Each structure stands twice: as C-alpha cells, then as structure tokens.
C-alpha cells in the first residue's frame, strides 16, 4: 500500500473538556504488492485524528469503548489523558469510501469524576470491503479503575496500568500488565495474558478468561488466596493445596488473598512473575 500523505488533524472543538473530531483522510491506490489480495481497482481511504481530555483528573476512572480494530492503552508519566486514531477504509467505490471515512469519529472527555474515550464507526456501504480503525490511548499513571470494551476482530493491549483493570475484548485476544488490585480480562477469541507486577498482589476477585484460546496469568510472588484454573490442559507453577488434575487445579494458593479464576478453551497457565 502506498504511503499515506501527512494529514493534519482538525482543531478540537472547545466545550469544557470535550473533544469530538471527525476523521480526516485521503484516497490512496493499493500498491501492486496487494494485487493478488484484492481487485485491481481497489483502493484505500486513510486518515486519523487525535484528541485530549484536558479536564481529566489523574487517578480517576477511565472508560474506553472501541470497535473495528486494535486498541493499545499505556499508563505513563504524563499529565494528560490523550488518544490517537488511525483508520483505513478499503473498497472499490470512492464516494462511499470517503463518506465512511468521514463518518469515523473520535471523542475524548474528562473532568474531576473521570475520563471517557470512544470511537464511532459507521456500517459498511456498497463498494466498501473493510474498515480498520486503530486506537491508542495514553493515561497518566496512578492507581485507577480502567474499563475497556473492544468489539470486532482487534486485540487489546494494556501496559503498566495500576488499580482495577477490566477488559472485554473481541476476537483478537487481550493483554494487561501493571500493579493491579484486581484484573478481569476476557476476549471472545484469541489468547489472553495478564501479568501482575512481581511485588504486587491481587486484593479483589480476579478473572482471566480465554473461551477461544489460551489463558496465561503471572502472579506477584507474594500472592495468596483461593485459585481455580481450568482448561483442556492446565499448567500451574505455584503450589496449590486441593484438586490437581490435568484439566483442573483448584484450592488454596496461600494465606490471605482473594479469589482468582483462570479458564481457557485450550491451555491455562499460572506462574509467578519473577
């Protein structure tokens, strides 16, 4: 695919700390390398945008809703809740492709109660074969409650986020890491992996579920509680006092702690993060 020309984002609308922006795009022909994968007259309409939730207060809850593509979330040393969206509309009809691209939207809102980020993706029109929207989000790092809903074929990746992390991902799987008090991470397809910081422990009920693939959980070294691990095959490193079979491990992981559940269609793995 030919390289996209540089696209300048629209200026965000100023309404308190709300930023809602339409997509900005350009029509590009497919490169010859893709000729075997698509009709000769197929092209792509590409663009993107950015938004800042300037009123967001660090440590407050954040909710993210996205569809039709991959989502990456990074908690980092920054003062602003910000997001960037890139999209690719593929097809054979210029007008419907352009209309679809212009209909893709990005919204970011923040105040003293929390932050919200969402994308708007229209349905396919005639002459449009595919819509792929990639979203990245940067969050000021502090313990928080993070709620993510991602539908479609994309994956979700959450890195270095502390507090409570809830992820409902689509068919592409999910990953989450950080010093989490609780993690509830599931995906309709693909693999799911959760990595607790080695010196942290889950303090509230935690669930890792991969109904369409493999599930992996790496625990903090001092984690205790009751754990249930089930799958077509099961591999558990820490000692669990209770039931230990090839498809189910259930019992006491150690003193104190909370309840932890790991399940997978295929292999469910639990080890310490060392």
pLDDT of residue 40: 53
Helix (H, G, I), strand (E, B) or coil at 19: strand
Q: What is the pLDDT of residues 239-251, one digit of tens each?
A: 999 999 999 999 9
Specify the pairing of strand 24-29 against strand 267-272. Answer: unpaired
- Average pLDDT of the chain is 87
pLDDT of residue 256: 84
Tokens of 265: 């269609």
Q: What is the pLDDT of residues 136-179, one digit of tens each?
A: 999 999 999 999 999 888 999 999 999 999 999 999 999 999 99
Q: Rounded CA gap, 151 and 189, in Å?
A: 11
Helix (H, G, I), strand (E, B) or coil at 100: helix
pLDDT of residue 21: 43
Global pTM value:
0.86
For the chain, the domains span 1-66+75-140, 143-274
Question: Given a cut of 70, is residue 24 above it in pLDDT?
Answer: no
pLDDT of residue 254: 85
Going by C-beta distance under 8 Å and a sequence separation of 6 or more, which residues neighbour residue 169? 148, 150, 154, 155, 156, 185, 186, 187, 188, 190, 192
Is 27 within 8 Å of 98 (Cβ atoms)?
Answer: yes
Match 């002459």 to its residue by tokens. 127
Q: Rounded CA gap, 164 and 248, in Å?
A: 26
Of 230, 221, 212, residue with least CA distance to 269: 230
């Amino acid at each position: 695919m030919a390289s996209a020309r540089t696209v300048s984002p629209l200026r965000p609308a100023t309404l308190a700390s709300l930023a809602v922006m339409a997509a900005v795009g350009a029509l590009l022909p497919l490169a010859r390398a893709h000729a075997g994968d698509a009709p000769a007259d197929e092209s792509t309409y590409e663009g993107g945008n950015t938004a800042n939730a300037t009123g967001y207060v660090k440590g407050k809850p954040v909710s993210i809703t996205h569809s039709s593509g991959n989502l990456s979330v990074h908690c980092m040393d920054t003062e602003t809740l910000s997001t960037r969206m890139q999209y690719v509309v593929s097809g054979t009809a210029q007008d419907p492709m352009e209309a679809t691209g212009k209909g893709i939207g990005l919204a970011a809102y923040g105040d003293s109660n929390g932050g919200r980020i969402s994308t708007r993706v229209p349905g396919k029109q005639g002459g449009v074969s595919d819509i792929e929207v990639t979203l990245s989000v940067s969050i000021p790092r502090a313990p928080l409650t993070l709620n993510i809903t991602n539908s479609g074929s994309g994956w979700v990746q959450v890195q270095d986020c502390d507090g409570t992390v809830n992820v409902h991902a689509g068919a592409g799987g999910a990953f989450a890491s950080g010093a989490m008090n609780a993690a509830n991470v599931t995906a309709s397809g693909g693999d799911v992996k959760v990595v607790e910081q080695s010196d942290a422990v889950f303090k509230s009920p935690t669930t890792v579920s991969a109904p369409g693939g493999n599930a992996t959980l790496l625990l903090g070294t001092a984690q205790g509680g009751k754990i249930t691990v089930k799958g077509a095959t099961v591999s558990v490193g820490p000692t669990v006092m209770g039931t230990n079979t090839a498809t189910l491990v259930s019992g006491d992981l150690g003193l104190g702690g909370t309840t932890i559940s790991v399940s997978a269609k295929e292999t469910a793995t639990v080890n310490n993060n060392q």
